[in-house]
Amino acid sequence: MDHALVPAREVFRHFPALLVVAFYLISVVAVGVFAYGLWLRIRKYCAGRPANRFDLMWRRILGAAWTIGGQVTLRKRDSYAGWAHALIFWAFAGLFIGTLIIMVDHDFLRPITPALQFWKGTFYLWNSLILDLMGVGLLVGLGMMATRRWRFGLAQLDYSRPDRNPGEYSRLGYVRDDQVFLWGLFVIGATGFLIEGLRICADRPPFEVWSVVGWQLANGIDALGLSPATASRLHLYIWWLHAVLALAFVAYIPYSKAIHMLVDMANLLFRDELAGKRLPGIADGAAAMGYRGLADFTWKELMDLDACTKCGRCHIACPARAGGWPLSPRDLILDLREHAEATLGGRSWLHETRVRQVHGAVAGGLIKGETLWACTTCLACVEACPVGIEHVPLIVQMRRTLIEEGILDRNLQDVLEKLAHYGNSFGEPGHNRAKWTQGLPFKVTDARTEPVDFLWFVGDYASYDPSLQEITRSVARIFRKAGLRFGILYEAERNSGNDVRRVGEEGLYQLLAGHNVAALARAQFKEIVTTDPHSYNTIKFEYPAFGATYSVRHYTEVIRELLETGRLPVRRRLDAVVTYHDPCYLSRYTEVTDAPRAILQALGLTLIEMGRNRSNSFCCGAGGGRIWMTDAGAAERPSVQRIKEALQIPRVTYFVVGCPKDVTMFRDAVKTTGNEGRLQVKDLIELVEEAIGSDGDSCVADVS
């Protein structure tokens, strides 16, 4: 091949030395501005309290690489946005690598010896093709995002706040930041193609046909009648426009939404896989129970604030917001971010200058008490967040301050007092906890005095609520019928403390958990089974901090096993159309979603899913202590909204649940909406007993 035709090109085409020097000087300034902004961010995080997020680093690195590389979390809830973002991410990454290749070849290898340069020949051709395709991917992805943001009218992208005056909230700043980020990248990509087309039009090297987009642009420029000399002059001007825009973008990254490109990777690396499921205790030496101000935040929590991209997935997933309470997980994080930027630095160039100054506690001050009490701790926000923000632990930490200061619902305070005095939320004497067993034709084993295989942790609602006790007896009858060696703790059981902890009453939680751990230590059993998903969560994930680690299962997991092994033969297959509601603490917290569906299938029922199911289930509104609070939202309760969602299913007969609190919430919702004749709320065990039979005989040899 003639050396003159070896595929390659000049980086600074026809540039005088002065312009080359000017480019490098501008580059140094841009990198310096970037480095300073990045240092401001790091300095802010270093102001936070310590957090141990450096364990299992290889696992963390591999998990973050898989999540980021596959854009897993982005594609899970919104495939359109996920694939658009994937195009942008991979195209941006590819174009960045392409720039690094040119820098290494031109700035490091060429000064040593041209013989080391590799950006030529076949490598150059393939590099040109790949980068052109990457550039197209970038523009397509950005176009998809622009269409989604400004044409779809999505609620999650609406930053308006009815609870704020316009001067208090930088809504316009957020919109402006979005526009600069999106359109800035688009113009950088478009001008990159334009300078390629002008260069090819001016020089017409035949090998540049590999630059598929640039070649076609050159053909279009030719068709406009532009001479090679004019194309060459325009190339210089557009080259500088592209370069200045690209370098300005580099400088802009740490001061804008674009910082998420760096912070989100770190946030995913250091996220807690059990965030919300396992809440932290009170830190050693802490001056207060919860968070009063930014000084109480850990470095990871400060990083969470910067990681938010305002995508709004948590905003639309939140049942409190849907029910008209003054909570949006997105807005809570953004409020805290603005306060952190005003206090600790790192504020965006594009936000409004009027950021609310807060004096005193953040909890109850910047973040109002009614906002914090609205949370059901359903974990939908944490599960929906694609960048690893941990909203629920932060909300609970601020609730602890409200509890300490006595800022809480009167009814909630009464319930907490009952829990402190009686160990249950009903204010009943402990000896009444097992009173429900009196309606059974057999005695339930006392696990404190006799060894059992299954220790059944019943829970408050299943034990004390008269409307639920027959369901509890159904569980006992089915366990008995299957020949299980099971028992209960009788009056030694206390409330598990799961919701007490999430209310923010950490001291009471530790008393309840400590009592239960001591009671469990006196019993002989192989594993714990519970009908209460809330108890399931705290026993599984939080009791180990008290030195008590158990094998724990939900009753649906046990029933599924009994059906599949034939220990519970189905005598009568049921014929009905049902829908199943995934309880938050069963689907998101403990990730049990298959067992209930397998049971419904085994019973012969036709299951038709609601749109929101499994980990995307919608909360009943009872969690996080909300079942004990009396304040109403401005819209329909989440339980009512859920029932109306179920009623959209043709011929649906049963609304099936697997949590005592769900039975309470949804039966009330059916009644208040006047749908008692159209839909029945059933605990799954009621359908199991109907199909298995309700007699007291065992299906297998009684091994108890």
Q: Where are the domains of the chain?
A: 26-268, 273-405, 412-692
Contacts of 382 (CB under 8 A, 6+ apart): 275, 276, 314, 389, 390, 391, 392
| pLDDT at residue 544 greater than cutoff 70 | yes
Mean pLDDT, the chain, integer: 93
Higher pLDDT, 703 or 127: 127
| pLDDT at residue 538 greater than cutoff 90 | yes
SS3 572: coil
C-alpha 584/C-alpha 586 separation (Å) is 5
pLDDT band at 4 (very low <50, low <70, confident <90, very high): low
Identify whether the C-beta of residue 212 lies closer than 8 Å to the C-beta of residue 132: yes
Task: Determine the average pLDDT of the residues in 240-253.
Answer: 97
Task: Determine the average pLDDT of the residues in 158-168.
Answer: 64
pLDDT band at 537 (very low <50, low <70, confident <90, very high): very high
pLDDT at 702 (0 to 100) = 35
| pLDDT at residue 160 greater than cutoff 60 | yes
| pLDDT at residue 62 greater than cutoff 60 | yes
| Percent of the chain predicted with pLDDT > 70 | 94
| pLDDT at residue 287 greater than cutoff 80 | no
Instruction: Give the tens place of pLDDT for each residue, 294-337.
Output: 999 999 999 999 999 999 999 999 999 999 999 999 999 999 99
pLDDT at 173 (0 to 100) = 62
Identify the residue whose tokens are 């594009």. Answer: 350
Chain-centroid distance, C-alpha 349:
28
CA distances from 260 to 27, 89, 252, 280 (A): 22, 12, 12, 26
| pLDDT at residue 347 greater than cutoff 80 | no
Structural tokens at position 521: 């230590």
CA distances from 424 to 243, 463, 497, 510 (A): 67, 10, 9, 14
- Asked if the 26-268 domain carries CATH number 1.10.3470, the reply is no
CATH class belonging to 273-405: mainly alpha
Identify the residue whose tokens are 């919430």. Answer: 665
Q: Is 614 left (phi over 0), alpha (psi -120 to 50) or beta?
A: left
pLDDT band at 159 (very low <50, low <70, confident <90, very high): confident
pTM of the model: 0.93
Task: Determine the average pLDDT of the residues in 392-412.
Answer: 97
pLDDT band at 701 (very low <50, low <70, confident <90, very high): very low
Instruction: Give the tens place of pLDDT for each residue, 208-231.
Output: 999 999 999 999 999 999 999 999
Structural tokens at position 593: 């979603």
DSSP classification of residue 71: T
Higher pLDDT, 605 or 156: 605
The Cβ of residue 27 has, within 10 Å, a number of other Cβ atoms equal to: 15
Task: Determine the average pLDDT of the residues in 17-32.
Answer: 97
Identify whether the C-beta of residue 348 lies closer than 8 Å to the C-beta of residue 341: yes
